[in-house]
Structure 1
Amino acid sequence: MVRKAVLPVAGWGTRFLPATKAMPKEMFPLIDKPIIQFIVEECLDADIENIIFVTGRHKRPIEHHFDINADLERFLEKSGKYTLLEEIRQVSRLINPIYVRQKEQLGLGHAVLTAEPVVGNEPFLVALGDIVLRGPSNSTRDIIKVFERLKRSVIAVFEVPYSEVSKYGIVKVEDPSAELSRIVDLVEKPNVDEAPSNLAIVGRYVFTPAIFEKLRKTRPGKGGEIQLTDAIKLLLEEEEVYAFKIKAKVYDTGTPLGYLQTLVDFALHRKDLKDEFFLFLQRIVNSSNLQPDRT
């Protein structure tokens, strides 16, 4: 059984500086809920309650968010704002979080390895803290079910245009047309002419504990970082690893453009906001003389 999830959230978020100097990008709001809460709720919906956050010294707001705020609760109660009070209390009760400090930001692979003492010798989920999924089913639950059937590591993937493969880790599989297929190779952010497929890694993985041994053997690459993709390639030498095509829409909030696109799309899906917000966007488009720069 997969009982634990590792959420690596220790990165500096340099694309959003100076905003991320004091506020983690994972705490940026999608309307009225921080990004990280969507991911935690996805894990809970997949029956994972043991959430391991791999954090850094600048990530305390994440810890505060999932903790009890007695002063705020007293204020809301005194003000008669009982609906908000219950909502805040539910956030505090969502999980019993575990925080592991990544003292140096040495890559995603290093962040996952940092969680080994807490994960132990059992399978676990890795969910990236800036990737939000929306779909007809819970993709995390889907890949966990595949893992529990095969007892092999499973990586969530989705199809991207070939013009965008350089933004992602790309997998080569035995049968590109199949929903589930064995991975043959992985390439981190390849050029278009080097990409083995257009199947991009989503940011949801279920691993056997054997990945930790491979992470310890993985040599640092560009920027001195230990890449998770390199460790998976080592794992392929001993174990089968599978790619599972998810049906969800993938939102990458890790870049300013991706965050803005996610924010707009989420607003247009909110029943209490979508009509007025759509009219607002329409007015902007109709009244603006701005044109995209195509140079």
Structure 2
Amino acid sequence: TNGAYESDSVSEIWNGVPLAMQLKVLLEQESRYQPKLSGLRVLEAAHDSGLRMTSRLRDFEVKDLLSLTRFFGFSTETFSLAVNLLDRFLALMKVIQPKHLSCVGLCCFYIAVKSTEEERNVPLAHDLIRISQNRFTVSDMIRMEKIILEKLCWRVKAPTAMSFLRLYHSYILEHLDMEIRKALNMERLEAQLKACHCSFIFSKVKPSLLSLATLLLEVQEQGLHSAAGDLQCLQQHSNGDLVCVRELVAKCLTEYSSTKRFKPNNQKLRWIISGRTARQLKHSYYKIAHLPTIPEASC
């Protein structure tokens, strides 16, 4: 289970390809990689009985995946893809039991890692299980990974919200004066997107619209009125209520910053690892104890 996957998407490296063409291709692909809406509604309507999957359990699992992403130093693209895979699978498997969720989540994370990260940075399945403190085996992961890939028809490399965010950010920078470009800090935007991924409500929002709304909120808060106009012009390419989604993003980020409900149990992140694993891990792996705060905006 440690090999890298072949990509089935052109959202890879766009050497010399105009932004408009990149956007066109991603938008054409987007609908093929969306979670099934009817399945998401079943998940949303489920009650916390301990016997059925719920949106709340989904959010807990995504937060664990975010912690793992930071622990290993993986990219936001990897996390965004892992969330996409998880939501698509949960929307198809309406009767999945909560006890299987940690295995499903870790397999989706591992598939994303093998799809986006350099092969030399991909951890062994055994080490990933041990570090995440799960009790299943590598054989369990192999079986679950095969189930996930078959259910998703091996469509792994989806156009994610992070793909669109990076593209829209590049587009906006082309239209801004040099001295105000620094106001749109990509690290801050990525942190905002990660926070949104931790909320189930955005599973029902197209990635292009979520990234556009996140960027629009930021440029409006920074007072970049010309950039806001450019972004609203892009809405014609992404169906949906941009204003409504922008308000949902604003509410999500406010709750993320002002409450503890997004913070996972720090004790769960005190991993016990072998000496061999410890020698393989980067120094930064030991620093992660909780979800990140969103960086302050640039002046």
Q: How does the TM-score come out when normalised to structure 1? A: 0.29
The structure where helix makes up a greater share of residues is 2
Q: Quick one: higher RCO (CA 8 Å, sep 6+), 1 or 2?
A: 2
Q: How does the TM-score come out when normalised to structure 2? A: 0.29
Q: Rg larger in 1 or in 2? A: 1
